Chain A
Amino acid sequence: MASTLGNSALWLSFLFSILQFIVSTKNINSIIIFNRIAVTGLLTSTLASFFLLMYCHVTSDFAVINVFQNSHTTKPLLYKISGVWGNHEGSMLLWMLVLSITNYFIFKLYSKNNSIFVSKTLQIQAVITIGFLLFILITSNPFERMSTIPSNGLGFNPILQDPALAIHPPLLYIGYVGLSAVFSLSIATMNLENDEGTPWYIYMKPFVVAAWTFLTAGIALGSIWAYYELGWGGWWFWDPVENAALMPWLLSTALLHSLITVERKKSLQAWVLLLAILAFLLSVIGTFLVRSGILTSVHTFALDPTRGIYILIFIGLLGSYSLILFALKSKNFLGKNYFSFFSREGSILVNNLIMVIVCGSVFFGTTYPLIVEIFTSNRISVGEPYFNATVIPMIIPAILVMGIGPLLSWSKVDSKKTLKQILPSILLTIIIIIIFFLSYRTYNIPGLVGIGLASWIISNVLVTLFLNIRKESKKNNFAISSFLKHFNSMIIAHLGVGLLIIGITGSSVWQEEKISRMKVNDEKMISNYNVVFKEINEVAGPNYLALRGSFWIYNQNNKIITVLTPENRIYPITKNTTSEVSIHTNLLRDLYIVLGDGDNDNGWVVRIYHNPLVVWIWIGVLIIVIGGLSALKNNLNILRLRNL
């Protein structure tokens, strides 16, 4: 019953999206009522079908194939709900839901001055919506039923039963779909050749900021999941699925910064319009790579060649239309405002180019195995060595420029003044490197470079903050203008990046790993800790059985710090086994223990990691996201003031 309703709601969404496409072609103000009907109708019916699918999952309606394949009566309620988007069909429906919410927000931009522009944007958005709805209805309908009703479901991959993973896809999808709005705005701008003189960049900015913030949070949660759940000791593996999210992130980072240049100086317009197209195309290409099965990855969803063909055709149409439009119209957006290399916009452009090149090399590394396979039929894997060798050397100059950029002024720079401003940061960075070198006696060059870069960023942030406060106190009567607030979100986000670099450097350069077979009462030294294997017991969880090891951790002074209890879980329903990592975290390091196979006679395979500074990765990302949210708030305020 619910599934039939859900299916009809999905078809209703399809009709509404067609209505939206048709009414948006008419540029008459009175038509807005039909547009309202289309947009709210689309939102309501998509919401209905999404919650009906959720209802099917929660009530374990196994006549629905999607529920049968992905759920089980013994699954905890939270994971029954997150199971809705833990599979291909359901995740596409979630994508659709986010798309129609974004669509609604675009509709909310309507005002007297921009009706043509918003109509055009809604029309492009309707094309994207129709594309995805047809994809769902033709190749991946989550409401498909089967004639026999099984007594129970096939369960759910236990490794996906994790709270971080439950909210990871929705956040990523907000990011991807936010970029669809950016894409539509870019197409509408080029199409209309800006007749109304619409400040399109002001409309684009909140969507870019939102997409970028949510992508950042989504990628970080994916990493958190990998770190806490996979038990491989690391948090980033250059997996194709991770790369598929990283590429749009890199481009939206570039977009975010060049949009500021457009806003301030009206230069780089054509470049921004191109980035807007590419960022969304890459999101869809990422989806294609993951869902079509041409790349194999730990994350790969159900393989189905028709899905791949469909997405490829969709990308082909979307991409050729938008890029041909760009080839034809972009010359209208070429600015005459040339600027010097040594200026705020110059630094932004340099970093933009670096981001695009990094994105290109990640794309190349991700697809290179496929290309090699065409010509040689060999299967190769391009892993960490390639990405570390290409991405890191390119990112280093970007970080150096990132530190200095916010201190440069627009257009023209007084180089003496700038030098005076960055002098404290240069000194501070050198001092920190020396202190670090002396106190740890480390000759590890990548480590020292990483620490140097982090202190470079952080000290420059502090200098910027100091200069801002001084400027503000000089003209006290101005109080805090909205622009200054906006400036502060940059400071917050850059501070987060500095902390992130500390975490990345610490955990990748100084990670220690000890893999050994241990029997009960065996001891192992790692870093300055003594790990004692005390006991191993059987325990039962809600839907699994587990072997739980007890490891007592002593410090140098033989004082006990903590007891870590990694588990080896067996889920009887799916016959899956997972290992539950046990971690002790403080601000300086994580102790990370994974219990592997074994028995009491021969001992158990135990992997112990000493991961320095990992927690700063999560703190850094959190601060970046806070910066992003604060920028989002400011941009929405600017938009509200404009539309009043």
Chain B
Amino acid sequence: MRKFIFISPIIVFFCIIFIFLYLLITKSDPSELPSALINQKAPKFETLSLLSEKNFLYEKEFNHDLKIVNFFSSWCIPCSAEHKYIDLLSKEKGIKIIGINYKDDPKKALQWLDNLGNPYSDVAIDSNGDIAINWGVYGIPETFIVNYNNIIQYRLAGPITKKNYEAFYQQIIKNK
């Protein structure tokens, strides 16, 4: 009995550590935030297109293909780092990507696309961040997978990186 009292702290401690370890492993990617919008219709918006300087044609862009919606900005450093993966998905995998230019100067955004290349089928201007609020965006970059029926299937908060690119691509295949 007495012995048990002295061993009990270490036993309790191990239990706690194992619970934490389990939680860390199962929740290993905190950027996979559950979104209230998963399995919901993609929120509509009306705005201008960065590329054509005319109205952004929502119905045309959100057609019956699988598409990816990427929130980005020229002042966002992780967006620049992420750009090559967006490029890869667009140019090599042939996936339709819609850009949403978040709180940016259109001139700088165009310059940014000139420098890095344009992977987007079209880019919607979100100058005051309203679209981002409707889509429940936490911070940029943030990327959504939207299916043929315009239902949001998956959300990635934070940049696509070398580490999560493969997993993200699998999500696209799954929803195709």
**Which residues of A come within 8 Å of B, CB atoms?**
68, 146, 148, 150, 270, 274, 277-278, 281, 285, 288, 292-294, 303, 305, 308-309, 312, 315-316, 319-320, 323-324, 326-327, 330-331, 367, 370-371, 373-374, 575
Query: Is B103 engaged at the interface, CB distance under 8 Å to the other chain?
Result: yes
CB pair A370–B23 under 8 Å, yes or no, is: yes
Partner of A327, one of B6, B19, B80: B6
Question: Nearest Cβ in chain B — how far from A73, in angstroms?
Answer: 15
Nearest 6 Cβ contacts at the A-B interface: A323-B10, A303-B30, A293-B30, A327-B6, A294-B23, A327-B7
Residues of A within 8 A of B6 (CB): 270, 326-327, 330-331
Query: For the complex, what is the distance from the CA of A549 to the CA of B28, rounded to whole Å?
Result: 46
Question: Nearest Cβ in chain B — how far from A308, in angstroms?
Answer: 5
Query: Is B9 engaged at the interface, CB distance under 8 Å to the other chain?
Result: yes
Query: For the complex, what is the distance from the CA of A312 to the CA of B129, rounded to whole Å?
Result: 38
CB pair A294–B20 under 8 Å, yes or no, is: yes
Smallest Cβ-Cβ distance to B2: which chain A residue: A331
Partner of B9, one of A312, A316, A323, A367: A323
CB pair B10–A327 under 8 Å, yes or no, is: yes
CB pair B9–A327 under 8 Å, yes or no, is: yes
Query: Is B22 engaged at the interface, CB distance under 8 Å to the other chain?
Result: yes
Partner of B30, one of A148, A277, A305, A327: A305
CB pair A146–B30 under 8 Å, yes or no, is: no
CB pair B19–A288 under 8 Å, yes or no, is: no
Interface of B is mostly: helix
Query: Is B77 engaged at the interface, CB distance under 8 Å to the other chain?
Result: yes
Known: A293-B30, A367-B19. A319 touches B13 (CB 8 A): yes
Residues of A within 8 A of B13 (CB): 281, 319-320, 323
What are some 29 contacts across the A-B interface (CB < 8 A)?
A68-B77, A146-B77, A148-B77, A278-B9, A285-B16, A292-B24, A293-B27, A294-B23, A305-B24, A305-B27, A305-B30, A312-B17, A312-B20, A312-B21, A315-B17, A319-B10, A319-B13, A320-B14, A324-B10, A326-B6, A326-B10, A327-B7, A370-B23, A373-B23, A374-B19, A374-B22, A374-B23, A575-B103, A575-B129
Query: For the complex, what is the distance from the CA of A270 to the CA of B2, rounded to whole Å?
Result: 13
Residues of A within 8 A of B26 (CB): 374
CB pair B20–A303 under 8 Å, yes or no, is: no
Residues of A within 8 A of B19 (CB): 367, 370-371, 374
Residues of B within 8 A of A327 (CB): 6-7, 9-10
Residues of chain B from 77 to 104 with CB closer than 8 A to chain A in the complex: 77, 80, 103
Residues of B within 8 A of A150 (CB): 75, 77
Query: For the complex, what is the distance from the CA of A535 to the CA of B176, rounded to whole Å?
Result: 58
Query: Is B31 engaged at the interface, CB distance under 8 Å to the other chain?
Result: yes
Besides the known contacts A281-B13, A305-B24, A305-B28, 7 further A-B residue pairs in the complex with CB atoms under 8 A apart: A270-B6, A294-B20, A303-B30, A305-B27, A312-B20, A331-B6, A370-B19
Count of inter-chain pairs, beta carbons less than 8 A: 66
Question: Nearest Cβ in chain A — how far from B140, in angstroms?
Answer: 11
Residues of A within 8 A of B114 (CB): none
Query: Is B59 engaged at the interface, CB distance under 8 Å to the other chain?
Result: no
Residues of chain B from 54 to 87 with CB closer than 8 A to chain A in the complex: 75, 77, 80
Residues of B within 8 A of A373 (CB): 23
CB pair A288–B20 under 8 Å, yes or no, is: yes
Residues of A within 8 A of B103 (CB): 575
Known: A305-B29, A371-B19. A326 touches B9 (CB 8 A): yes
Question: Nearest Cβ in chain B — how far from A554, in angstroms?
Answer: 40
Question: Nearest Cβ in chain B — how far from A451, in angstroms?
Answer: 38
Query: For the complex, what is the distance from the CA of A522 to the CA of B59, rounded to whole Å?
Result: 48
Residues of A within 8 A of B28 (CB): 305
Residues of A within 8 A of B27 (CB): 293-294, 305
Query: For the complex, what is the distance from the CA of A605 to the CA of B7, rounded to whole Å?
Result: 57
Smallest Cβ-Cβ distance to A330: which chain B residue: B6
Smallest Cβ-Cβ distance to A323: which chain B residue: B10
Residues of B within 8 A of A324 (CB): 10
Known: A292-B24, A370-B19, A374-B23. A274 touches B9 (CB 8 A): yes
Question: Nearest Cβ in chain A — how far from B49, in angstroms?
Answer: 23
Partner of B24, one of A68, A148, A278, A312: A312
Query: For the complex, what is the distance from the CA of A308 to the CA of B21, rounded to whole Å?
Result: 9
Smallest Cβ-Cβ distance to A370: which chain B residue: B23
Smallest Cβ-Cβ distance to B103: which chain A residue: A575
Residues of B within 8 A of A288 (CB): 20
Smallest Cβ-Cβ distance to B14: which chain A residue: A320
Question: Nearest Cβ in chain A — how far from B82, in angstroms?
Answer: 14
Residues of A within 8 A of B7 (CB): 327
CB pair B31–A303 under 8 Å, yes or no, is: yes
CB pair A316–B10 under 8 Å, yes or no, is: no
Question: Nearest Cβ in chain B — how far from A396, in angstroms?
Answer: 26
Smallest Cβ-Cβ distance to B18: which chain A residue: A316
Query: For the complex, what is the distance from the CA of A73 to the CA of B42, rounded to whole Å?
Result: 38
Query: For the complex, what is the distance from the CA of A316 to the CA of B17, rounded to whole Å?
Result: 7
Query: For the complex, what is the distance from the CA of A367 to the CA of B16, rounded to whole Å?
Result: 10
Residues of A within 8 A of B23 (CB): 294, 370, 373-374
Question: Nearest Cβ in chain A — how far from B32, in angstroms?
Answer: 11
CB pair A320–B24 under 8 Å, yes or no, is: no
Query: For the complex, what is the distance from the CA of A614 to the CA of B166, rounded to whole Å?
Result: 55
Smallest Cβ-Cβ distance to B31: which chain A residue: A303
Query: For the complex, what is the distance from the CA of A54 to the CA of B17, rounded to whole Å?
Result: 35
